[in-house]
Amino acid sequence: MCPAAPALAAWQLKLDLCYVEADYDPELRRPVPGSDRLLLLGNPTELFGEQAMDAALRTFASGAFDAARQQYDDLCDTIAEPGRARFMRALSGLYRAWCDLDLTELPASAEAVQATLAQVRHQVTADTERRVAVQLDFLRRLGKGDQERLLVCFLVLGEHYREIGRHDFAALLFYRTIEGCLAGQLQQRAEGLSCVRPDYRLPHPRRPDHLCR
């Protein structure tokens, strides 16, 4: 029987793996009697799982969130402890929706992150948990149509795309940020002005009466 087969079966049944080692007599070509030692082995899939998790994290850090989500999705089916992979899969999906400004997908993605975070709190740092909580609150308000947060979102995403070299997207998002800020200032300065159907006579100050005489 191939030695990998019982090892795989032990992993599936969550049993400990062991190995019998002994000193070898090259002249007799057999183990030295009485030198047998029982060694407990770590689960080999954990080693490969950690390497795959590191590779997925590098993909995530590069900003390729859809590809990272797929990598974490594959890991959820192959590693013995998939909790962290499930959390990162949900977080990758959330960031993908955020970067695409998919406002219809954001609420469900935020809830998926919240649910998986609750399952792996003992595996993430307090700083990570706080940061994710702040982001979830921001994105929930964004999904409800908060215009001020939308402008902040344009700026944050512009910086993100600039850092990963997507300068076309970055320029467009920075333009939308400037446009939104100017529109907001106009509406604050001129009561009744709507930038959807603007009446540009409204921002002009009226001349004092004594100057009209």
pLDDT above 60 for 197:
yes
The 10s digit of each residue's pLDDT in 61-120 is 988 999 999 999 999 988 878 899 999 999 999 999 999 888 888 889 999 999 999 888
The 10s digit of each residue's pLDDT in 113-165 is 999 998 888 888 889 899 999 999 988 888 777 778 889 999 999 999 999 88
Strand partners, 40: 18
42 vs 167: CA distance, rounded Å? 47
pLDDT above 50 for 166:
yes
Q: What is the pTM of this model?
A: 0.65
Strand partners, 20: 38
Q: What is the pLDDT of residue 136?
A: 92
What is the helix (H) or strand (E) element at residue 24, kind and residue range?
strand 24-25
How far out from the chain centre does Cα 65 lie? 7
Which carries the bigger pLDDT value, residue 62 or residue 10?
Answer: 62
State the average pLDDT for the chain: 81
